[in-house]
Chains A and B, each alone.
Chain A
Amino acid sequence: MKEKFIINGKEKYLTFDADERLVTSLRNNGFKEVKNGCLEGECGACMILLDDKPVHSCQIFTASVINKNIQTVKGIGDLHFPHIIQNAFVEAGAVQCGFCTPGFIIAAYALLKENSNPTENEIKRAIDGNLCRCTGYVKIIDAIKNASKTIQKEKVEL
């Protein structure tokens, strides 16, 4: 199949099989920033924003989201224009192996867009769908707190 999607703000055509999961289609069509850690909806490495909601893209059939709005970590910010959240992860030491990081950035972005001043518990709940084996989460939580402060201070709209 070949169908249209809006990916990171641009119209894109993805080629995919009828029974394919969205993570696979995205990766096969070049969106390698979406990682595949378990294919069972548990690890969150494949997390994307689907119409602004964070979802595990391995749990979605590609054919079910044709024409929808998809945002990957690269749509949030890239090497040349990183987002405040990405910078906050770097500054806090929240990135070790980095395989889970794109998913965490997505989860953090979705949280801070809804609630720019979350409590620690709200942060922990927001990233409950993402597994990290390297950091013990401590510095990820720090990073999201710091990003929240910057977003409020600079009055940034997500």
Chain B
Amino acid sequence: MKNLKTIGKSKKKIDALSLATGTSKFTDDYDVKNPLFVSFLYSPYAHAEILNIDDKVAKEINGVVDILHYKNVTNQKLHTTAGQGYPEPSPYDTLLFDSKMRYVGDRVAAVIAESKKIADDAVKKIKVEYKKLTPVFNSEKALQKDAPRIHGEERFMPIPVKYEPENNLAAEVEIGFGDIDKGEKEADFIFENKYSTHYASHAAIEPHSVITHFDEMGRLVIITSTQVPFHVRRIVSKVLEYPLSKIRVIKPRIGGGFGGKQEVFLEPIAALITIKHKRPTKIILSRKEVFQSSRTRHPMKIKLKTGVKNNGEITFLNMHALLNTGAYGSHALTIVSNAGSKTLPFFNKIKNIHFLGQSAYTNLPVGGAYRGYGATQGYFALNQQIDIITRKLNLDILEYIKKWHIKTGETSEVFKALGEGTEGVTQIIHSCEIDKCIDQGAKEIDWYNKRDKKITTNEDTVRGVGIGFSMQGSGIPLIDMGSASMKMNDDGSFNLFVGATDIGTGSDTILSQIAAEVLGVSLDKIIVFSSDTDWTPFDVGAYASSTTYVSGTAVKKCAEKIKKQILEVATQMLDTKEKNLSVADEKITDTTTNQSVTLGEIGEYTLYTKDQFQVQASASNVPKLSPPPFIAQFAEVEVDKKTGEIKIIKFVSAVDCGVALNPKLAEGQIEGAAVNGICYALTENYKFSKSGKLTNQTFNDYKIWTANDLPEMKTIIVESDEKTGPFGAKSVGEIGINGPLPAIANAIYDAVGVRLYHAPFTAEKIYSELLKK
């Protein structure tokens, strides 16, 4: 890209100084007068019927205002907490307060009080009579005929897809093409393996938070830590049957999301309390509540069967992904779909493919969207399978990937066959530089001097290297929509209003860069304002790696409309033709006379001088495609054969995200995702008691890494030009979390010959596998 002033530059994140000086406001930083505080009572049982709730004693405590539960919150509407497009592709299986408890941590009641302390004390005084039911924790057992039934038959899917609550089946999707039997016959070798991935917490450092109050005009204001403000407005309106026009959702600064704040499970409660008591309400979850009762990464079991010819050609691929959605089916269909839709197009020469994705209800914590969204789970299986295949056939895995992956100009039948739980969209790949990613990443990790070398650093430790490749998407085609509006001020600055939701990713900065580039102004001339449902146009929100590609294109279209209006005014002011005009350095120049007007002069002219009007425009964008970014990630590990302990020595990510509109912010996305993925592979996991209670719900017991745990980290941006994206951009937000799990597993095998099909990779697991050898 030539002559770009703002795009491709590592501009400072525009809210960074405000955040670094503590001035920025997060939800809990908003002062509301005399709020009500809320504490929840959670089920101690994984599966139980509530026979009776006695809240008399609790209610009599001084300062307790109200106690809500199934007995007194009537006319409840089934809904999903998944903040997705409408109608949501997730089952309507949730009530605000239910009489049946489906996991340890399910919501029994809410105590509303004058202080948090009073509410906490009162929670302990509520007497609940439970009838314990047999729980089921295992996703395979949950789908068996004699399994305890978790949901009633009144549950339903709002879209026409398979859903059988009577069989604990929260979702099912199946696609296939070609002929699997034919593929089996053609194969010289058949590989069949079972893989599994585990629970994880998003662990955004800001807990889920919401404040509700009535403004001076009597409209309901919801200030909330969300990735999806417009979905919050819709879901609150529908669940409470409260007019959407009377709800205003404000997204302040958000302290991280990673998918966990794509869930609308607190806002309806806070809104209900404010509507009922006409008082502000504040709900801030504790860290324990975030671990137990918010959302998690869905565990997944994947059976993968592939046939391969001697030359490495895959003759068929049969994948069965079984997702454990926990007690409720939030994202149960779409995440299991993505385990296939994001992985299967990668090797697009496979002629015979079958994919079955199923999601099972169990009596465990609830899954939800989580960075990577099924692709992380799917690529764990696919990457190890390719490592196994190439080792068996004695092929160079890097050359193998380069030979068989989908190329620019090619397509995959999977794109059309499998989308978000239903049919997808046909697309051709316009940009793919994974070969360069592999080459540059391999060079950085010094692959060929380390692979299969089993380098020892002392008598007990051995090193190995492994790769994890993947592709993701850029938004959900024909479903996601982003929009923007702009107006010009008298000094030649511009207000940019976007529904796109900056949750810490830097999207406010990226979108401003796009507008600044189109209009030929410096970044400080763009005053961005995001995500207030009263003030900004609609956007589905921050998920599906969509903001840069989907909302960015809306901003680009909008800025181009503004530019057109500016040029029209300039032709009048300079008495010339539009074709003579050039836009640069915040002025418009008539190239035939060299006369120019500044944007400030144009701004003043349009507002004060002649035929006054407001230079303003809006634009929307629904993408037709979802161009995948590509990544190659490499791990070098050291395994202690005496103890099974594993140390990551170096981790390299080489990513093709199209044009990196802001390279530093793009690197930050990859680095954050990679470290999250590394500790997911090694130290993060949910541990449950036999009765299904989460036992490690603190940061002390659930280890996410600190800087002191880091290996050498290297991120390489390999640019490509995605013609369909704004200034050549694709997505970068999620993809970096896919590689660590398989790259580390493959590196462990390279070091000590132990194949770990089941994550996470603890020292105990490695040690016990070493003993078997």
Contacts and interface: CB of A to CB of B under 8 A. Distances in A.
A95 B16 contact: yes
B23 interface: yes
Contacts of B29: 32
A82 B20 contact: yes
Contacts of B506: 96
A95 B13 contact: yes
A136 B675 contact: yes
A148 B90 CA distance: 50
Given A73-B22, A79-B17, A136 B713 contact: yes
> Looking at B17, B254, B504, B715, which has the most chain A CB atoms within 10 Å of its CB?
B17
A33 B23 contact: yes
Nearest to A144: B707
Interface in B117-151: 117
B196 to A, nearest CB: 24
A39 B287 contact: yes
A9 to B, nearest CB: 16
Nearest to A138: B671
The bracket for how many chain A residues form the interface is 35 or more
Interface string B664-675: 110110011111
B20 A90 contact: yes
B204 to A, nearest CB: 6
A93 B17 contact: no
A133 B672 CA distance: 7
A116 interface: no
A54 interface: no
B328 interface: no
Contact of A72 (B19, B22, B254, B287): B22
A130 to B, nearest CB: 7
B505 interface: yes
Contacts of B16: 89-90, 93, 95, 98
B28 A36 contact: yes
A23 B667 CA distance: 33
A86 B699 CA distance: 27
B698 interface: yes
Contacts of A98: 15-16, 18-20, 24, 253, 255, 504
A101 B20 contact: yes
B504 A134 contact: yes
B406 to A, nearest CB: 28
Contact of A82 (B13, B21, B705): B21
B20 A95 contact: yes
Interface stretch (A60-68, A121-129, A150-158): A121-129
A37 B256 CA distance: 11
B20 A131 contact: no
Contact of B21 (A17, A86, A127, A137): A86
Nearest to B662: A93
Interface string A53-79: 000000000000000000011100111
A145 interface: no
B443 interface: no
B21 A74 contact: yes
Nearest to A126: B707
A45 B18 CA distance: 16
B612 interface: no
> Looking at B25, B117, B671, B700, which has the most chain A CB atoms within 10 Å of its CB?
B671
Contacts of B771: none
A105 B17 CA distance: 12
Nearest to A86: B20
B205 A136 contact: no
Contact of A86 (B13, B17, B287, B713): B17
A72 B20 CA distance: 11
Interface in A35-53: 35-40, 42-43, 45
Interface of A: 17, 27, 32-40, 42-43, 45, 72-74, 77-79, 82, 86-87, 89-93, 95-102, 105, 123-125, 127-141
25 contacts: A37-B206, A40-B287, A74-B21, A78-B23, A79-B21, A82-B17, A89-B16, A93-B13, A95-B13, A98-B504, A99-B256, A102-B20, A123-B707, A124-B707, A128-B706, A131-B706, A132-B205, A135-B668, A137-B671, A137-B705, A137-B710, A138-B667, A138-B710, A139-B667, A141-B710
Interface of B: 10, 12-13, 15-26, 28-29, 117, 202-207, 253-256, 258, 284, 286-287, 503-506, 664-665, 667-668, 671-676, 698-700, 704-708, 710, 713, 715
